[in-house]
Chains A and B, each alone.
Chain A
Amino acid sequence: GAVVSQHPSRVICKSGTSVKIECRSLDFQATTMFWYRQFPKQSLMLMATSNEGSKATYEQGVEKDKFLINHASLTLSTLTVTSAHPEDSSFYICSASQYIMNTEAFFGQGTRLTVV
C-alpha cells in the first residue's frame, strides 16, 4: 500500500505555544488529506478535510482558528495547533487519498501531543 509519513510522532509543548504536525504522502499524490483526533480507547474523530490548494473543510465543533490546516502541495498537509492548552493533548492522525471518491485512505503513524 501507499505510504503516508507523519511527523513528529511525539511532541510535548508548553501551554500557549503552537505546534505544527506534518503529513506527507511519500509515493503518491494526495488530492485529499484528512485530519483526525483520537482520544484514549476511542474511535477516530474527523476534524477536517483538506484539498490541495483550497481551504480546509472543518467538522462541526472544530475551531478553525485553533487548528490551522494547510494543504500546500499534493504531497504535504500540515496541522498547526495554535495556543495549545492541556485539553488539546491527544493523538492526532492524518490520512491521504489519491483520488476524490471512494478510494483507499492510508494513514500516518499518528502524533501524540502532550501540552503541559
Chain B
Amino acid sequence: GENVEQHPSTLSVQEGDSAVIKCTYSDSASNYFPWYKQELGKGPQLIIDIRSNVGEKKDQRIAVTLNKTAKHFSLHITETQPEDSAVYFCAAITGRRALTFGSGTRLQVQP
C-alpha cells in the first residue's frame, strides 16, 4: 500500500518568514495530494490540494508543488502569521482507497 513520509516533524519560524513542509510517497499510482491543517482539538481542514496532472498550485500565501518523477510534494507558506501555527498533514490517495496521511508537522510561528 501507499506510504507517505513527512518532514520535518516540528518547524519554528519567525512571523513573516516562509515555511516549507515536504512529503514523499511510495505509490506511483497516487494521483491526488491534499494538505490539511489541524488545530488543537479540531478535525483537519483542507487548505490546498493538487492532482498529478499539475506541477504547482497556489492560493494566496499557500502553494503546493508536485514532482511526480521524484514522488514528492511540498507545502509552501509565505509571510507566515501566528494564526498559521497548527499541525499540518500531507496525504496521498490512490484510486478508490482512503487517504494515507503523513506523520504531521507542528508549525510554530513566533510573533
Chain A interface (Cβ within 8 Å of chain B)?
A: 1, 4, 6, 34, 42-44, 46, 49, 91, 93, 95, 100-110, 112
Instruction: Let me know if B41 is at the binding interface, CB within 8 A.
Output: yes
Cross-chain contact A110 with B46 (CB below 8 angstroms): no
Most buried by B among A4, A6, A106: A106
Cross-chain contact A105 with B34 (CB below 8 angstroms): yes
Determine chain B's interface SS by DSSP, over half rule.
loop
8 closest A-B pairs by beta carbon, nearest first, are: A107-B43, A102-B32, A110-B43, A107-B44, A43-B101, A109-B43, A93-B43, A34-B98
Chain B interface (Cβ within 8 Å of chain A)?
A: 31-32, 34, 36, 41-46, 49, 51, 89, 93, 95-96, 98-99, 101-104
Cross-chain contact A6 with B96 (CB below 8 angstroms): no
26 residue pairs from A and B, CB less than 8 Å apart: A6-B43, A34-B98, A34-B99, A42-B104, A43-B102, A43-B104, A44-B101, A49-B98, A93-B43, A93-B44, A95-B43, A95-B99, A101-B95, A101-B96, A102-B31, A102-B51, A102-B95, A104-B49, A105-B98, A105-B99, A106-B46, A107-B43, A107-B44, A107-B45, A110-B41, A110-B42
In the bound complex, CA of A112 to CA of B93 (Å): 26
Number of CB contacts from chain A to chain B under 8 A: 53
In the bound complex, CA of A101 to CA of B52 (Å): 14
Cross-chain contact A43 with B96 (CB below 8 angstroms): no
Cross-chain contact B89 with A44 (CB below 8 angstroms): yes
In the bound complex, CA of A49 to CA of B98 (Å): 7
In the bound complex, CA of A112 to CA of B31 (Å): 32
